[in-house]
């Protein structure tokens, strides 16, 4: 969808001094199946991801919900399988959401971004309530001289995405995201930044549908990394 | 109460289209959450008490039979009669029998959600007994043609004072008034003679205390105390899971229940009722009964849903739920709305009767975070989704789509190809614009919002190209 987000994450990690490897065979963490009640599918994809990533010292995702799936839910998926459970727990230990990794593990306090303007941050549910991502993105945003951070009302309230919820119950989802859009506009910020692609498409889609062509919706990785230089 | 949860989607649509309801929801939205937040902020021990409360409820469920027997022995020793009801219907039979035995014509009721489960009012009326709701909210609903509550502690939160005013004027034949105090006085004038004339008082029970055989009732209006002390007979109707071991445990739970519910440090009234009037007591009922209902609770013990039995009915989950706050409690179609209702309804009424409820949640976990007894509500909803899959209750189209997705996601090369094709298809749909406005494969999405058009190439394609360029550069 937005390859620029992943490249921005890579730039941030590289500028913090890390070597970034993207395993060729990675696909999906299995979250859609897990949340839809398809345990078998979720377990199969969890095994695949564990095997692909467990040899690395750190695993970083530019998404609170993907990181949350690995960090919080994989162990439960293998509750009855001690060998895989141990591997899931070991991987969970070293898996992080991007801003969480940058601040808590890498100790980053400056980032290369060049964004200029007022920004409000939407706390995506998984990052906030599963991983405790709250202060980290704000600290990094505040390190950018051009960013003026303003808080929206109810910044911790869900945007109404909820994965398949958004297409199964569009009426409810639409009403919830409408409130979120009003909170964003109410903040007066030029842009809204956030850390999950699903929420991002939901919010951007609703803003545009309701006639707001101005409010920029930007992934926190892109805000912090700035525009891609030569070679991305 | 008859279940209507199978019509969830239609019920939601009606409520979203109901402008008056939407105005009422908007007016109260966030109010309880703000009160709770203020109470928690003013109570530094909140997290520690929450942990302790969780542990009390967890441990009592491990030996529920033992605590219930201890409760029964103590309550009996103090002169009360403890009756066990298999389900709501059985509870209604037992209560109708009690009414008959004591020649009861009128019952004053304080709030009891278990009586809603059981459909007690209708059963009493059928038995020739007149039930009178005395909780102000429940009274309003009763005189509005027995409308069901939309919230477990604020049953009439979906109504405005103007609606109540119109109802009172119509039913009481008085001039309309919108001053809340005046409305309350009007209800009080109607209810006072009912308290004095009733033969039986029926209460719920927030907690049953095993060491004393008492029931604890938490109220703000004082009607609970009148119902339980004035009439000749008092019946406490509640679920078997409400027992706790000691008064010390009660004091812990009372520190967290009102704060979680309304943001109060303590409710206006906390009543402890232990047995009927004894010789020398100035007041109290001559007879006291406990009707303790199973109604699906025992089946949850030892199951993967046991955590749900910890619930102390504070309503914090619905006060913080984006879905409940959008559609209101009636959309859920049974007694219990919001996250706790989305778990309890399928468990008590049958998975197949409430298929939508566990799915009609974003799993945002606001509810789990605020639950005073740490019930992992989103996790329980997710397990119910798994149960639906196991029992073949999901539509074939959804099953097929998930199978196909899982199959492709398990094959990296195919997944890469599917992503490439998907991106190009979406860009074709967008037709050169930066968004898609009608998407046949996910009409639900574009019914409410645009779908941002994807970039021309996938990350995988671009990354592979860059890696190749780097290798070439390195080789040069």
ipTM of the complex: 0.96
Which among A43, A133, A169, A199 is the top mutation candidate for probing chain B, defined by the most B β-carbons within 10 Å of its own β-carbon?
A: A169
Q: What is the DSSP string of B188-234?
A: HHHHHHHHHH-SEEEE--SEEETTTTEEEEEESSSHHHHHHHSSSEE
Contact yes or no for B322 and A158 at CB 8 A: yes
Which among B14, B25, B322 is the top mutation candidate for probing chain A, defined by the most A β-carbons within 10 Å of its own β-carbon?
A: B322
Which among A2, A3, A181 is the top mutation candidate for probing chain B, defined by the most B β-carbons within 10 Å of its own β-carbon?
A: A3
Structural domain contains residue B430: yes
Contact yes or no for B466 and A160 at CB 8 A: no
Q: HEC states along B78-98?
A: CCCEEEEECCHHHHHHHHHHH
Buried b (16+ CB within 10 A) or exposed e, B7-30: ebeebbeebbebeebbebbeebbe
Nearest residue, CB atoms, B326 vs list A45, A168, A175: A175
pLDDT at A229 over 80: no
Domain count, chain B: 3
Neighboring chain A residues of B463 at a CB cutoff of 8 Å? 3, 6-7, 22
pLDDT at B474 over 90: no
Residues B336 and B444 in one domain: no
Both tokens of B248, joined, read 């010390």
Distance (Å) from the C-alpha of residue B26 to the closest C-alpha of chain A? Answer: 10
Chosen domain end from B374, B390, B406? B390
Neighboring chain B residues of A164 at a CB cutoff of 8 Å? 359
Contact yes or no for A35 and B363 at CB 8 A: yes
The parent domain of residue B410 ranges over: 398-475
Residues near B421 by beta carbon (within 8 Å), at least 6 away in sequence: none
According to DSSP, the β-strands at B200-203 and A147-149 are unpaired
Q: Is B145 helix (H, G, I), strand (E, B) or coil?
A: coil
pLDDT 10s digits, B399-426: 999 999 999 999 999 999 999 999 999 9
Neighboring chain B residues of A51 at a CB cutoff of 8 Å? none
Q: How many CA atoms lie within 13 A of B354 on its CB side?
A: 29
Residues B93 and B214 in one domain: yes
Residue B135: which CATH number? Answer: 3.40.50.10420
Strands of the sheet with B269-273, listed across from one edge: B243-244, B207-209, B214-219, B269-273
Q: Would you put residue B448 in left (φ > 0), alpha (ψ -120 to 50) or beta?
A: alpha
Q: What is the pLDDT at residue A47?
A: 98
Neighboring chain B residues of A2 at a CB cutoff of 8 Å? 454-455
For chain A, give the percent of residues with pLDDT over 90: 97
Residues near B75 by beta carbon (within 8 Å), at least 6 away in sequence: B82, B213, B214, B274, B275, B290
Q: How many Å apart are CA B107 and CA B197, to the nearest integer?
A: 9
Q: How many CA atoms lie within 13 A of B308 on its CB side?
A: 29
For chain A, give the percent of residues with pLDDT over 70: 98
pLDDT 10s digits, B357-402: 999 999 999 999 999 999 999 999 999 999 999 999 999 999 999 9
CA distances from B281 to A44, A78, B200, B275, B276 (A): 68, 60, 18, 11, 9
pLDDT at A232 over 60: no
Q: How many Å apart are CA A140 and CA A149, to the nearest integer?
A: 11
Neighboring chain A residues of B459 at a CB cutoff of 8 Å? 3, 6-7
Both tokens of A131, joined, read 């991983």
Q: What is the pLDDT at residue B1?
A: 87
Q: What is the pLDDT at residue B475?
A: 59
Q: What is the pLDDT at residue B390?
A: 96
Residues B355 and B276 in one domain: no
The band of A79, judged by pLDDT with boundaries at 50, 70 and 90, is: very high
For chain B, give the percent of residues with pLDDT over 90: 96
Contact yes or no for B359 and A205 at CB 8 A: no
pLDDT at A195 over 70: yes
Q: What is the pTM of this model?
A: 0.96
Q: Which helix (H) or strand (E) holds B109?
A: strand B106-109
Domain with CATH 3.40.50 in chain A: 117-225
For helices B396-409 and A39-53, give the axis angle rounded to 10 degrees.
Answer: 10
pLDDT at B269 over 50: yes
Q: What is the pLDDT at residue B104?
A: 98
The band of B208, judged by pLDDT with boundaries at 50, 70 and 90, is: very high
Closest CA to B32 of B255, B259, B262: B262
Structural domain contains residue B183: yes
Which among A37, A61, A167, A184 is the top mutation candidate for probing chain B, defined by the most B β-carbons within 10 Å of its own β-carbon?
A: A37
Chosen domain end from B299, B333, B357? B299
pLDDT 10s digits, B147-203: 999 999 999 999 999 999 999 999 999 999 989 999 999 999 999 999 999 999 999
pLDDT 10s digits, B280-295: 998 899 999 999 999 9
Q: How many Å apart are CA B220 and CA B173, to the nearest integer?
A: 27
Residues B277 and B341 in one domain: no
Which ranges constitute the DSSP H helices of B280-337? Answer: 297-300, 316-319, 324-327
Compute the mean pLDDT over every residue in chain B, rounded to the nearest whole number. Answer: 96
Chosen domain end from B273, B299, B325? B299
Q: What is the pLDDT at residue A231?
A: 46
CA distances from A155 to A182, B365, B370 (A): 11, 15, 16
Q: What is the pLDDT at residue B421?
A: 95
Q: How many Å apart are CA A202 and CA A204, to the nearest integer?
A: 6
Residues B266 and B232 in one domain: yes
Structural domain contains residue B15: no
Which ranges constitute the DSSP H helices of B275-395? Answer: 297-300, 316-319, 324-327, 338-349, 366-370, 377-390
Residues B294 and B418 in one domain: no
Residues B147 and B234 in one domain: yes
Q: Is the dihedral of CA B88, B92, B97, B102 positive or negative?
A: positive
A117-225 classified as CATH 1.10.357: no
Structural domain contains residue B467: yes
Residues B386 and B402 in one domain: no
Q: How many Å apart are CA B87 and CA B231, to the nearest integer?
A: 26
pLDDT at B124 over 90: yes
Structural domain contains residue B17: no
Structural domain contains residue B3: no
Q: What is the pLDDT at residue A228?
A: 83
Residues B227 and B349 in one domain: no
According to DSSP, the β-strands at B207-209 and B214-219 are antiparallel
Computed on alpha carbons and rounded to an integer, the radius of gyration of chain B in Å comes to: 27
The answer to whether B243 and B60 have CB atoms below 8 angstroms apart is yes
The residue whose two tokens read 């102000």 is B136
Distance (Å) from the C-alpha of residue B158 to the closest C-alpha of chain A? Answer: 17
Q: Is A123 helix (H, G, I), strand (E, B) or coil?
A: coil
Q: What is the pLDDT at residue B473?
A: 81
Residues B68 and B185 in one domain: yes
Residues B386 and B406 in one domain: no
Both tokens of A81, joined, read 């399988």
Residues near A60 by beta carbon (within 8 Å), at least 6 away in sequence: A9, A13, A67, A95, A96, A97, A98, A101
Nearest residue, CB atoms, A172 vs list B327, B387, B457: B327
Structural domain contains residue B133: yes
């Amino acid at each position: 969808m937005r390859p620029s987000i992943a490249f921005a994450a890579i730039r941030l990690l590289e500028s913090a001094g890390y070597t970034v490897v993207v395993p060729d065979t990675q696909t999906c963490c299995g979250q859609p199946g897990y949340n839809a009640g398809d345990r078998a599918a979720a377990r199969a994809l969890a095994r695949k991801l564990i095997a692909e990533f467990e040899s690395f010292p750190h695993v970083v995702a530019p998404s609170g919900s993907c990181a949350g799936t690995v960090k919080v839910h994989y162990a439960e998926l293998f509750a009855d399988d001690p060998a895989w459970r141990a591997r899931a727990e070991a991987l969970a230990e070293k898996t992080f959401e991007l801003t969480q990794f940058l601040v808590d593990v890498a100790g980053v306090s400056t980032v290369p971004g060049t964004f200029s303007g007022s920004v409000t941050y939407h706390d995506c549910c998984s990052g906030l309530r599963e991983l405790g991502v709250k202060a980290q993105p704000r600290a990094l945003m505040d390190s950018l001289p051009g960013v003026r951070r303003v808080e929206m009302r109810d910044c911790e309230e869900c945007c109404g995405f909820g994965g398949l919820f958004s297409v199964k119950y569009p009426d409810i989802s639409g009403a919830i995201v409408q409130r979120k859009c009003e909170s964003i506009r109410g903040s007066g910020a030029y842009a809204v930044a956030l850390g999950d692609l699903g929420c991002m498409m939901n919010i951007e889609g609703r803003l545009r549908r309701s006639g707001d062509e101005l409010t920029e919706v930007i992934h926190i990785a892109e805000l912090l990394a700035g525009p891609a230089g030569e070679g991305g | 109460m008859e279940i209507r949860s199978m019509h969830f989607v239609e019920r939601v649509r009606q409520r979203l289209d109901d402008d008056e309801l939407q105005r009422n929801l908007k007016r109260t939205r966030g109010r309880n959450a703000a009160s709770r937040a203020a109470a928690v902020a003013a109570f530094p021990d909140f997290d520690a008490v929450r942990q302790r409360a969780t542990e009390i409820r967890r441990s009592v469920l491990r030996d529920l039979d033992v605590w219930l027997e201890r409760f029964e022995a103590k309550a009996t020793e103090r002169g009360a009669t403890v009756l066990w009801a298999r389900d709501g219907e059985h509870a209604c039979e037992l209560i109708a029998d009690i009414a008959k035995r004591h020649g009861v014509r009128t019952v004053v009721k304080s709030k009891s959600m278990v009586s809603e489960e059981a459909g007690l009012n209708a059963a009493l009326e059928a038995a020739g007994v007149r039930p009178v709701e005395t909780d102000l909210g429940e009274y309003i609903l009763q005189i509005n043609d027995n409308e069901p509550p939309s919230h477990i502690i604020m049953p009439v939160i979906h109504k405005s004072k103007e609606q109540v005013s119109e109802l009172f004027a119509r039913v009481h034949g008085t001039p309309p008034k919108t001053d809340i105090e005046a409305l309350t006085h009007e209800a009080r004038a109607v209810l006072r003679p009912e308290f004095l004339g009733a033969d039986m008082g029926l209460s719920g029970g927030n907690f049953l205390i095993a060491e004393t055989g008492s029931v604890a009732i938490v109220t703000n209006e004082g009607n609970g105390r009148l119902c339980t002390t004035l009439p000749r007979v008092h019946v406490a109707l509640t679920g078997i899971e409400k027992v706790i071991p000691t008064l010390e445990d009660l004091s812990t739970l009372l520190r967290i229940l009102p704060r979680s519910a309304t943001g109060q440090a303590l409710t206006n009234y906390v009543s402890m009722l232990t047995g009927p009037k004894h010789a020398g007591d100035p007041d109290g009922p001559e007879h006291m009964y406990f009707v303790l209902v199973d109604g699906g609770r025992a089946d949850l013990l030892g199951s993967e849903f046991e955590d749900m039995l910890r619930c102390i009915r504070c309503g914090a989950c619905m006060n913080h739920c984006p879905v409940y706050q959008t559609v209101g409690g009636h959309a859920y179609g049974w007694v219990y709305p919001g996250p706790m209702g989305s778990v309890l309804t399928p468990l008590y009424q049958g998975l197949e009767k409430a298929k939508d409820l566990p799915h009609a949640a974003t799993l945002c976990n606001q509810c789990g975070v605020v639950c005073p007894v740490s019930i992992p509500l989103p996790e329980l909803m997710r397990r119910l989704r798994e149960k639906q899959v196991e029992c073949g209750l999901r539509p074939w189209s959804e099953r097929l789509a998930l199978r196909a997705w899982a199959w492709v996601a398990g094959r990296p090369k195919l997944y890469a190809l599917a992503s490439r094709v998907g991106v190009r298809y979406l860009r074709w749909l967008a037709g050169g614009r930066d968004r898609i406005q009608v998407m046949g494969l996910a009409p639900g999405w574009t019914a409410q919002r645009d779908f941002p058009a994807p970039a021309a190439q996938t990350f995988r394609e671009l990354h592979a190209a860059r890696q190749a360029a780097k290798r070439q550069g390195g080789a040069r």
